[in-house]
Amino acid sequence: MHPRRRFSLPLADGRTLALGERTLIMGIINTTPDSFSDGGRLTDPQRAIDAGVQMAADGADVIDVGGESTRPGADAVADKDELRRVLPVIEGLAARLTVPISIDTYKPSVADAALGAGATLVNDISGLRYAPDLATVVARRRAAIVLMHTRGRSREMYKDAVYNEVVDEVLDELRESVAFATGAGVALERIVIDPGLGFAKEAVHTYEVLARLDEFSELGRPLLVGPSRKRFLNRPLGADLPAAEREWATAAAVAAAVLAGAHIVRVHAVREMTQVARVSDEIRKYHRG
């Protein structure tokens, strides 16, 4: 267990997020009818807004709103449909909350509109590989951005899950994303990296990344980790549990991520995972290293 470096992450509205003193909790709001985790429970904007408000009350430090499912096999969504799903939710949350709002998208037009509606952070699962022009939007809006590692599109991502040395290759590809972002005008201090657990990675790859998470500190940027309810959690259980029944397994992965140095964990069950993170943070305090 290594000391966790502290960062100050500037957001689009002029505020900053303090990262490193404790683990921040990012609550997930899926407004998609085909979400892998909740089966479209939050497609109604008011229900999604109420869920986000409850997440903030339960301990969320950031609310992440997404309008396109990125589960393996998912189809892409048109910009206009994604905007129809996310903008009312972002506007409603911005009117009721003080915690920052993130837009989970790789599309430049969606990010631009969401940032105009009150989001301050962009969460890009593609690491700027799907739509490089997103970097221009982020730079112009002076937003923060999460650059996640993946390969290929959601519909066929597992065909690219071939690695000789998974951690080294993921690190190299994240370096490329960071270099592209800064080359397009995004300030380095506004970048967070995410190794992309479960994305274009078989379970064995994901567990190796999670076990060696501390090595990602060499990128010199804060680290977001999203293990919540993902399929890789089933591997050691010897069962094919549905997403809603993977919360205990998620708790183990969240604890491991925090102990390995994650700055932010992205989760569905905010109240429960806040408790996991707080206890894991307390353990970190007593480590002598």
Point out the residues that are catalytic.
230, 266
165, 123 Cβ separation under 8 angstroms: no
End-to-end CA distance of the chain: 7
Which residue in the block uniquely carries the two structure tokens 């007593």? 286
Structure tokens at 197: 């657990």
Q: Give the DSSP letter string of the chain.
A: -PPPPPEEEE-TTS-EEEESSS-EEEEEEE--TT-TTTTTTT-SHHHHHHHHHHHHHHT-SEEEEESS--STTPPP--HHHHHHHHHHHHHHHHHH--S-EEEE---HHHHHHHHHHT--EEEETTTTSS-TTHHHHHHHHT-EEEEE---S-GGGGGGG---SSHHHHHHHHHHHHHHHHHHTT--GGGEEEE--TTTT--HHHHHHHHHTGGGGGGG-S-BEE--TT-GGGGGGGTS---GGG-HHHHHHHHHHHHHTT-SEEEES-HHHHHHHHHHHHHHHHT---
